[in-house]
Amino acid sequence: MTDILMPALSPTMEEGTLAKWHVKKGDAVKSGDIIAEIETDKATMEVEAVDEGVVEDILVAEGTEAVKVNTPIARLAGEGASAAAPAEPTAKANGAAASDAPEEQPAAEAKAPPTGEGPAAVTPAEPLRDPELPQGATLTKVTVRDALRDAMAEEMRRDESVFLMGEEVAQYQGAYKVSRGLLDEFGERRVIDTPITEHGFTGLGVGAAMAGLKPIVEFMTWNFAMQAIDQIINSAAKTLYMSGGQIRCSIVLRGPNGAASRVAAQHSHDYSSWYANVPGLKVVAPYDAADAKGLLKAAIRDPNPVVFLEHEMLYGVEFDVPDVDDWIVPIGKAKVRRTGADVTITAHSRMVGLALKAAEELAAEGIEAEVIDLRTLRPLDHETVVESVKKTGRLVTAEEGWGSMGVGAEVIARVLEHAFDYLDAPPARVCQEDVPLPYAANLEVLSLPSVEKIVQAAKAVSYR
């Protein structure tokens, strides 16, 4: 006898709706037969039998919502059926699936990944008013994913020379659904599916930019942009200089950067420090939806090549976005996300959420941390950091990538140059362990920076 269990569509799915049974009590099933359909917020999936046998009982009725993963949903009687086994989810091929199920997106978006340190969408205790925020603007909850889409759509409406290209950006609506709806609105001329040829299509984008267009090139993830890095650095970044200012290249290169969840070394690389090393490029790495939108719009209008680093674990997280006509956040300005007098913590992208959580834990222990979201890595706004360190005397840098030659190393160097005498303790870096990111769940947790590691570092520099 085998219990058929509620399957997960992704390792982080926790529950779903049992939408339909295709079998009833007494039916014989063999492996591969479709037995049920389940629905999640992301997709409808068909469930196949893995073991063969006769359906002895249906344990969860059709239409039941919020069925927890691994709950027994039916019982099979049959030869050799022994251990409890979940049925196997497979893609539903008839088009009824929600459009919102990125193919290569193992992590449930807003939910914590199995590492238990998911996207920390923490709003600071006293939200600071963004200086750029117009008086009286209302705020709307928007996911980072939709904020990025809105930014592209607004700029494409505004400027007909802006277009988007990349793998699966058009018909599939984006591998992570960031470009959802753009093909419908702008058509095939301006929303272009490319073959899997990063080096080539990036070169085409850079060339088109040299001819005066304003391409947005999406990389399915930045890992794959390594195929194209020559065009990004040798062509996009350097040609203005080499041509004595004649050849311009207004291009945005964007996509998710850094570690997702359990996708191992080749799919988890954080390129922040790589691109931030290169003169001629601007490098932006936003945390929340307002910055994602405002900075992407600024990036599209910028006359220079802009590397725009997003984070897959933040795509599904909702934040307040000001409901104003043309929300632009200037490139090159850091943002103080939490004020505090005891220790300065710098972070960018997903690490900002972790730093804010760490600040709350520190506050509970009487240490008031000031959290600075760098937002732009090149040009780096060290003035904001230096001002803060002059007040706190202590500095912790948090980044997802490796520490050696990293963003934290640069921040610390600038603080030493400009505020050496204000430091009360040697600064500390929180970063990824100095190894390729392992797949195993426990090793992955050990490798990545965490709230805990930031708290520890902040205490260490505070001699606590």
Give CA–CA dist 454/354, Å, rounded: 8
Which of 70, 181, 224, 368 is close enough to bind ligand TPP by CB under 6 A?
Answer: 224
Partner that binds at residue 244, options ligand TPP, another protein, none, CB closer than 5 to 8 Å by kind: none
Taking the CA atoms of 120, 121, 126 and 129 in sequence, report the sign of the dihedral they define: positive
- Whether the CB-CB separation of 250 and 304 falls below 8 Å is answered with yes
Binding residues among 174-203 for ligand TPP as defined by CB under 6 A: 196, 198
Binding mask 98-127 for another protein (x = CB under 8 A): xx-xxxxxx-------x-------------
Binding residues among 50-69 for another protein as defined by CB under 8 A: 50, 69
Nearer to another protein, 231 or 384 (CB): 231
* Long-range residue pairs from 358-365, CB within 8 A, at least 24 positions apart, any chain: 358/398, 358/451, 358/454, 358/455, 358/458, 359/124, 360/122, 360/125, 361/451, 361/455, 362/455, 362/458, 362/459, 363/125, 365/459, 365/464
Let me know how long the chain is.
464
Amino acid found at 234: N
Which of 8, 18, 142, 217 is close enough to bind another protein by CB under 8 A?
Answer: 8
Q: Please report how close the Cβ of residue 47 comes to ligand TPP at its closest, in angstroms.
A: 23
Q: Please report how close the Cβ of residue 227 comes to ligand TPP at its closest, in angstroms.
A: 5
C-alpha closest to that of 8 among 50, 70, 66, 59: 70
Nearer to ligand TPP, 227 or 277 (CB): 227
Nearer to another protein, 224 or 422 (CB): 224
Kindly report the CA angle at 169 between 167 and 175, in degrees rounded to 5?
75
C-alpha closest to that of 433 among 408, 406, 401, 456: 401
Q: Which of 46, 167, 218, 267 is catalytic?
A: 267
- Does the annotation mark 198 as catalytic? yes
- Residue 348 tokens read as 């960018």
Which of 16, 89, 258, 286 is close enough to bind another protein by CB under 8 A?
Answer: 89
Binding mask 413-442 for another protein (x = CB under 8 A): --------------------xxxx-xxxxx
Give CA–CA dist 456/444, Å, rounded: 19
Binding residues among 168-197 for another protein as defined by CB under 8 A: 168, 171-172, 175, 193, 195-197
Looking at residue 82, the DSSP 8-state letter turns out to be: -
Partner that binds at residue 32, options ligand TPP, another protein, none, CB closer than 5 to 8 Å by kind: another protein
Q: Tell me whether strands 34-39 and 376-378 are parallel, antiparallel or unpaired.
A: unpaired
| 456 near ligand TPP (CB under 6 A) | no
- Whether the CB-CB separation of 233 and 223 falls below 8 Å is answered with no
Residue closest to ligand TPP, measured at CB: 224
| 70 near another protein (CB under 8 A) | yes
Amino acid found at 406: G
- Whether the CB-CB separation of 236 and 203 falls below 8 Å is answered with no
3-state class of 400 per DSSP? strand
Looking at residue 301, the DSSP 8-state letter turns out to be: H
Nearer to ligand TPP, 198 or 270 (CB): 198
Region binding another protein by CB under 8 A among candidate stretches 1-9, 122-130, 287-295, 402-410: 1-9
Nearer to another protein, 214 or 262 (CB): 262
C-alpha closest to that of 108 among 26, 17, 42, 182: 42
3-state class of 162 per DSSP? strand
| 218 near ligand TPP (CB under 6 A) | no
Give CA–CA dist 372/397, Å, rounded: 10
Which of 143, 202, 223, 349 is close enough to bind another protein by CB under 8 A?
Answer: 223
> How far is CA 434 from each of CA 223, 438, 447, rounded to the nearest angstrom?
18, 11, 8
Region binding ligand TPP by CB under 6 A among candidate stretches 219-227, 279-287, 312-320, 392-400: 219-227
Partner that binds at residue 441, options ligand TPP, another protein, none, CB closer than 5 to 8 Å by kind: another protein
- Whether the CB-CB separation of 359 and 388 falls below 8 Å is answered with no
Q: Please report how close the Cβ of residue 184 comes to ligand TPP at its closest, in angstroms.
A: 22
| 230 near another protein (CB under 8 A) | no
Q: Please report how close the Cβ of residue 195 comes to ligand TPP at its closest, in angstroms.
A: 9
- Does the annotation mark 267 as catalytic? yes
3-state class of 210 per DSSP? helix
3-state class of 364 per DSSP? helix
Q: Which of 154, 167, 198, 444 is catalytic?
A: 198
Which of 9, 36, 210, 220 is close enough to bind ligand TPP by CB under 6 A?
Answer: 220
Which of 61, 66, 80, 189 is close enough to bind another protein by CB under 8 A?
Answer: 80
Residues making contact with ligand TPP (CB under 6 A):
167, 196, 198, 220, 224, 227
Q: Which residues are catalytic?
A: 198, 267
